[in-house]
């Protein structure tokens, strides 16, 4: 894959315990596959500090960027004080690229929708306040999220990670300045609707992701997913779309750089 433009994994949980034993090897393996940068969305407050530390540590073959936020699955473990802590991080650290991973997951029955809406609304407000894009986790809640975004836009837009909504919802997100993230999900033949969207949505709105260690690709079920697998996601997307592999690699990279305001490094 060395003749391809460098790739960016827009969503990978490198800070999760699954990567504690061999994180530097995982990063090297990603680098060998041409991954130049990885965006790591924070999910709970106790991980924020080590995540930022990991991103600023000395030289690595892959640039690591942090987003900070409270994921809807973990809101029960948080107090409103954590929002103040989050504000402090954004006030004092210029390197945080986005607010995330935040959102609404109404497929999850164990956490009240009302509580989810509280944390989501508060963190959206934070994104507006600090002019940051957001990284969205959205399941069975797209219409409510879109309603909130229409009523009070987030000017910097963001990424809807692992997008699996309808075509209409996809275009509504694009209208709000969002990109749509596609990952291992599109490698499953049964994911017909999502594959059709990945094939036909405007290339200028797509970004690649692995969501590692989650979302293993088809054929790798039950195994830990890794950022090096991003090239397989790219190949799958290229099989589905009319453009060439190189065009898709370049466009998705450019889209990610733009939406997260990342430095362009060496590649044009």
Interacting residues toward Zn ion by CB under 5 A: 101
* Nearest residue (CB) to Zn ion, 15 versus 101: 101
* Nearest residue (CB) to Zn ion, 65 versus 245: 65
* Nearest residue (CB) to Zn ion, 245 versus 260: 260
Map tokens 């790219």 to a residue.
234
Side-chain-facing half-sphere of 253: CA atoms under 13 Å: 24
What one-character-per-residue DSSP string does 173-231 give?
HHHTTEEEEE-GGGGSTT-HHHHHHHHHS-GGGEEE---TTSSPPTT-TTSPP-GGGHH
Greatest distance between any 2 Cα atoms in the chain: 49
CB 137 to Zn ion: min, Å: 6
Q: Which single residue brings its beta carbon nearest to Zn ion?
A: 101
* Nearest residue (CB) to Zn ion, 101 versus 250: 101
Three-state DSSP state, 260: coil
CB 98 to Zn ion: min, Å: 12
DSSP conformation class of 146: H
* Nearest residue (CB) to Zn ion, 71 versus 250: 71
CB 242 to Zn ion: min, Å: 29
What one-character-per-residue DSSP string does 221-258 give?
TTSPP-GGGHHHHHHHHHHHSSS-HHHHHHHHHHHHHH
Side-chain-facing half-sphere of 171: CA atoms under 13 Å: 4
* Distances, alpha carbon 233 to alpha carbons 7, 69, 172, 187, 229, in Å: 11, 26, 24, 7, 7
CB 172 to Zn ion: min, Å: 22
CB 28 to Zn ion: min, Å: 22
* Nearest residue (CB) to Zn ion, 9 versus 101: 101
CB 13 to Zn ion: min, Å: 6
DSSP conformation class of 110: S
């Amino acid at each position: 894959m060395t003749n391809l433009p460098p790739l960016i994994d827009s969503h990978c949980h490198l800070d999760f315990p699954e990567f504690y034993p061999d994180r530097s090897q995982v990063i090297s393996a990603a680098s060998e596959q041409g991954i130049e940068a990885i965006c790591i969305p924070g999910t709970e407050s106790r991980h924020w500090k080590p995540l930022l530390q990991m991103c600023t540590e000395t030289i690595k073959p892959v640039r690591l960027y942090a987003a900070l936020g409270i994921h809807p699955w973990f809101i029960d473990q948080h107090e409103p004080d954590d929002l103040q802590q989050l504000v402090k991080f954004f006030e004092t650290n210029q390197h945080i690229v986005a607010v995330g991973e935040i959102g609404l997951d109404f497929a999850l029955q164990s956490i009240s929708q009302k509580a989810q809406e509280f944390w989501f609304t508060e963190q959206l407000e934070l994104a507006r306040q600090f002019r940051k894009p957001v990284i969205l986790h959205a399941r069975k809640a797209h219409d409510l999220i879109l309603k909130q975004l229409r009523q009070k836009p987030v000017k910097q837009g963001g990424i809807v990670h692992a997008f699996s909504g309808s075509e209409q919802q996809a275009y509504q997100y694009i209208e709000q300045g969002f990109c749509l993230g596609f990952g291992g999900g599109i490698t499953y033949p049964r994911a017909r609707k999502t594959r059709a969207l990945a094939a036909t949505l405007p290339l200028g709105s797509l970004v690649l992701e692995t969501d590692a260690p989650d979302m293993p690709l088809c054929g790798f079920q039950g195994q830990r997913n890794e950022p090096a697998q991003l090239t397989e996601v790219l190949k799958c997307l290229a099989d589905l779309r009319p453009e060439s592999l190189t065009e898709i690699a370049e466009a998705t990279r450019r889209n990610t750089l733009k939406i997260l305001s990342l430095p362009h490094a060496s590649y044009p």
